[in-house]
Amino acid sequence: MSDATPALRLDGIVKTFPGVRALDGVSFSVLPGEVHALMGENGAGKSTLMKVLGGIYQPDEGQITVSEVPVVMRSPLEAKAKGIVFIHQELSLATELSVAENIYLGELPRKSFGRVDWATLNARTNEILSRLKVGFGPGDRVGDLSIANQQMVEIARALTVDAKAVIFDEPTASLTDAEKVVLFDVIADLKKDGVGIIYISHRMEEIFRITDRISVLRDGQYRGTLETAKTNEEEITQLMIGRKLDLSRSEATHALGDVALEVRGLTVKGLYEDVSFEVRKGEVLGFYGLVGAGRTEIAETLFGLREPSAGTIHLNGEEVRIHSPADAIARGISLVPEDRKGQGLVLGMNCRDNMTLPQVDDLTAGPFVADGAEIAIFDQYRDRLDIRTPGWKQQVGNLSGGNQQKIVIGKWLSMHPDVLIVDEPTRGIDVGSKSEIHNLIRALAAQGYAVIVISSEMPEVLRVSDRIVAMYSGRIMRTFTAETVTEDNLIQAISGIAASAETAA
């Protein structure tokens, strides 16, 4: 393999923006039939590099070579024509159109007078779909497909050209475990066909599962390439963040307080059923399960976004009914939502205004908002959570994912909640900030908050939780304590295998 001509080679790519050297001499090559991981923290230059490869940016210096042919790409269309194809994290499909129309969008086969040649279109589409072994046809409406299948349509689109290199950008972000397996099979097939693959992901388990080599970027510079088989998580991380990462759970055990939240027989028809659990003050209760197991929906019910069809919620021993987020907040329940940008933050607003949004009602002097009180709150939580921003006037949209998440957490802490629910605390956050958020969650528990953490990443739940609730298809399968949990029985529980196993609490 190592003697083959690279499918894609980068030589000394430099790209500067006013004031920043976003890419500073990046060189590496991807061999045909290789899955090559590209890793780096947010801001390391991955996105810029991808835009250079995609023809969106032109490099200031350096050369891109596809199968030993130097190429210059001035537009995404040109990049595709040269054999470089992208599978984006965010799907760009016309959901009202059919699968076939999407795959050949812009290149529909035509007959006379510009009429679409449906027969050819469907035949070609069928050919590609059979290669991918998917369960949908050319005529299906894309909007009716699952996210995973929509991604398959994107991949099918890539296969319409003679792709030399296919770039996957965080492809598993919204996939379930079963869907991931299908995706990895497709990647394996592409590999067999001799396509070079660049795989961008923050998820270590995937990196180790499917990649052959790993190239690391930091601060716009190329930091080296590792053989996946001969390296480990620690080495990669060190290369990415330039220092050692403390993965240990560094904390003295603290005593648990009274039960803060008790849920009995909670049900939302069609989403989850008969869910019962309790969280104590000072405890982190993890919810682990596949996407669609009902975890987020439970959080939404507790936060007043869904009406339960049965069951009770007790807060500090008192039964409560929660009909809206305003109710939940007033009773001391806060939710750090899964989709930070879509549900948690007002991106066009500054840091301070975002942080005080739920309580600005109370921060008034006469009819007007009291600036000073707001800034005081912002300063307090910026220091406490170590939020790195040039100042409170900074627009939240300009912060890194980790700092954005801290703004959301700070927003709720400043409301002094009893129960803090954190849904996917580190989604889209880079490795360095990840462990910071984990430590923060542990610290909050130590300070006496009752914390619920929902996560799809096993290492994360294992690391932050005192107890773990395993969910499968809308039901709690089992509740583990730190002593009873192992990776194996956790996986069994969330795949429904342990359905018959007795409940150990």
Q: How far is the CB of 125 from other proteins (least distance, A)?
A: 35
When the beta carbons of 161 and 349 are compared against other proteins, the nearer one is 349
* CA dist., res. 352 & res. 497, Å (int): 47
When the beta carbons of 150 and 389 are compared against other proteins, the nearer one is 389
Hey, which residues does 480 pair with through a beta bridge? 468
Q: How far is the CB of 398 from other proteins (least distance, A)?
A: 6
| Sign for the pseudo-dihedral over CA of 84, 90, 94, 100 | positive
Q: How far is the CB of 9 from other proteins (least distance, A)?
A: 25
Candidates 307, 250, 317, 245; CA nearest to 280 is 317
Half-sphere exposure of 376 (CA within 13 A, CB side): 6
Amino acid identity, position 107: E
CB 147, CB 112: distance < 8 Å: no
* CA dist., res. 456 & res. 182, Å (int): 18
- Interacting residue ranges for other proteins, rule: CB under 8 A: 16-20, 22, 303, 305, 324-326, 328-330, 335, 337, 342-349, 353, 357-358, 360-361, 364, 367-369, 390, 393-394, 398, 411
When the beta carbons of 226 and 333 are compared against other proteins, the nearer one is 333
Packing angle of the helix pair 118-132, 177-192 (nearest 10 deg): 100
Q: How far is the CB of 352 from other proteins (least distance, A)?
A: 11
* CA dist., res. 59 & res. 97, Å (int): 35
Residue with tokens 């869907």: 179
Hey, which residues does 26 pair with through a beta bridge? 13
Q: How far is the CB of 343 from other proteins (least distance, A)?
A: 5
When the beta carbons of 159 and 420 are compared against other proteins, the nearer one is 420
When the beta carbons of 359 and 439 are compared against other proteins, the nearer one is 359
When the beta carbons of 43 and 224 are compared against other proteins, the nearer one is 43
Q: How far is the CB of 394 from other proteins (least distance, A)?
A: 7
Q: Tokens for 274?
A: 């008969």
* CA dist., res. 305 & res. 203, Å (int): 30
CB 133, CB 127: distance < 8 Å: no
Q: How far is the CB of 298 from other proteins (least distance, A)?
A: 16
End-to-end CA distance of the chain: 51
Q: How far is the CB of 451 from other proteins (least distance, A)?
A: 18
* CA dist., res. 362 & res. 440, Å (int): 27
When the beta carbons of 324 and 447 are compared against other proteins, the nearer one is 324
Hey, which residues does 468 pair with through a beta bridge? 286, 480
Q: Tokens for 478?
A: 């089992």
When the beta carbons of 317 and 367 are compared against other proteins, the nearer one is 367
